[in-house]
């Protein structure tokens, strides 16, 4: 258990479904992140929230919709996805920019949600 919990761990959905991924951390961190991990590609940052405010949206398609109701919880709402969206979606948290020792921003990751879009 890393301190960051993601549910569900596995999700299979059709292109017309609506589903949500959930992430929860109780590390007292102020920043939360969604990453997409596809085979043979670098980690892709999708969204960043710092103190519940979205600070980064890396040109993510609108079929992905994040929600951060408080600094401990982060959701990724999914609708009308495409098969190429199949990937491992990782949530992470950190103390936030310049919040760590000597300015380090060390991320703690969840185990990920493996998404398959049919």
Question: Is residue 78 near other proteins by the rule CB under 8 A?
Answer: no
Are the C-beta atoms of 5 and 25 separated by less than 8 Å?
Answer: yes
Are the C-beta atoms of 112 and 38 separated by less than 8 Å?
Answer: no
Question: Is residue 60 near other proteins by the rule CB under 8 A?
Answer: no
Question: Is residue 45 near other proteins by the rule CB under 8 A?
Answer: yes
Interacting residue with other proteins among 110, 113, 115, 117 (CB under 8 A): 110
Question: Is residue 66 near other proteins by the rule CB under 8 A?
Answer: no
Q: How far is CA 111 from the centre of its chain?
A: 11
Question: Is residue 23 near other proteins by the rule CB under 8 A?
Answer: no
C-alpha pair distances (Å), 12 with each of 4, 5, 19, 91, 100: 22, 19, 10, 18, 37
Give residues in contact with other proteins (CB under 8 A). Answer: 2, 4, 40-43, 45, 48, 56, 90, 92, 97-98, 102-112
């Amino acid at each position: 258990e890393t301190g960051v919990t993601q549910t569900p761990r596995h999700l299979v959905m059709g292109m017309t479904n609506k589903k949500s991924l959930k992430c929860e951390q109780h590390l007292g961190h102020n920043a939360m992140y969604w990453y997409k991990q596809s085979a043979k590609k670098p980690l892709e940052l999708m969204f960043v929230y710092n103190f519940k405010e979205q600070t980064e949206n890396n040109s993510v398609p609108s079929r992905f919709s994040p929600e951060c109701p408080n600094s401990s919880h982060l959701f990724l709402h999914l609708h009308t996805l495409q098969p190429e969206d199949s990937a491992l979606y990782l949530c992470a948290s950190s103390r936030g920019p310049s919040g760590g020792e000597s300015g380090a921003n060390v991320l703690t990751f969840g185990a990920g949600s493996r998404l398959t879009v049919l």
